[in-house]
């Protein structure tokens, strides 16, 4: 195990933890998803692969082609859960960004690897704001996964020390503390994975 650090107000969280991943893919089915908003743009990386919508916005905020994610390697694709459209995902040189609108209109989750760590970034959950976030991650070294709690708000970022050269898969869920217990209304996000 390692250390867990929380930022004040929980807007950013950093974790250093030894861990692992079991990769699963959602069932895909034919249905018509809603259009992803925002103007499409082609990454200046070469290859002419467009990065658009909420995924493009997050990629640009993370630094675009100069980010730790690097350049896009696939177009964005629809993601389905139990045959129902749930969002979009796009793969980059070192990870992925997934738009998970059930947890907030602009909610994206992204994961990448760099310098012996896997990073996971999420937000914004607006209009929802949470008292805390539960983050789960999985790897081939730890197919059962690990879960940690981090401060709340509308987003955050953690890093996990890699214990395998394989991919790490992350999900997050926002929760509120109540008098009679905890409430996690919007459920778990779609996953984002490192490469």
pTM: 0.79
- Residue 163's pLDDT is what? 87
The full DSSP string for 11-32 is SSEEEE----------------
How far, in Å, are 4, 85, 139, 187 from residue 62 at the CA level?
A: 23, 26, 24, 25
Two structure tokens written together for 66: 């100069």
DSSP letter for 102, please: G
- Residue 81's pLDDT is what? 93
Report the SS3 class of residue 66. helix
**Omega before 124 within 30 of 0, i.e. cis:** yes
- Residue 48's pLDDT is what? 83
74, 31 in Cβ contact below 8 A? no
How far, in Å, are 86, 88, 169 from residue 27 at the CA level?
A: 11, 13, 17
- Residue 11's pLDDT is what? 34
């Amino acid at each position: 195990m390692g250390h867990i650090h929380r930022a004040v107000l929980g807007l950013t969280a950093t974790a250093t933890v030894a861990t692992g991943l079991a990769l699963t893919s959602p069932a895909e089915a034919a249905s018509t998803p809603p259009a992803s908003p925002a103007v499409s743009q082609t990454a200046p990386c070469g290859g002419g692969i467009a990065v658009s919508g909420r995924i493009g916005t997050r990629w640009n905020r993370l630094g675009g082609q100069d980010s730790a994610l690097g350049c896009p390697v696939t177009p964005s694709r629809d993601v389905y859960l139990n045959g129902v459209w749930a969002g979009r995902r796009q793969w980059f040189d070192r990870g992925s960004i997934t738009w998970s609108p059930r947890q907030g209109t602009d909610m994206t989750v992204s994961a990448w690897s760099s310098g012996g760590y896997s990073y996971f970034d999420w937000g914004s959950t607006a209009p929802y704001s949470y008292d805390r976030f539960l983050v789960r991650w999985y790897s081939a070294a730890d197919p059962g996964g690990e879960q940690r709690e981090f401060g709340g708000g509308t987003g955050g970022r953690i890093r996990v020390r890699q214990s395998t050269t394989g991919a790490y898969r992350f999900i997050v869920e926002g929760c509120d503390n109540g008098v009679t217990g905890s409430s996690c209304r919007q459920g778990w996000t779609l996953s984002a994975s490192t490469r």
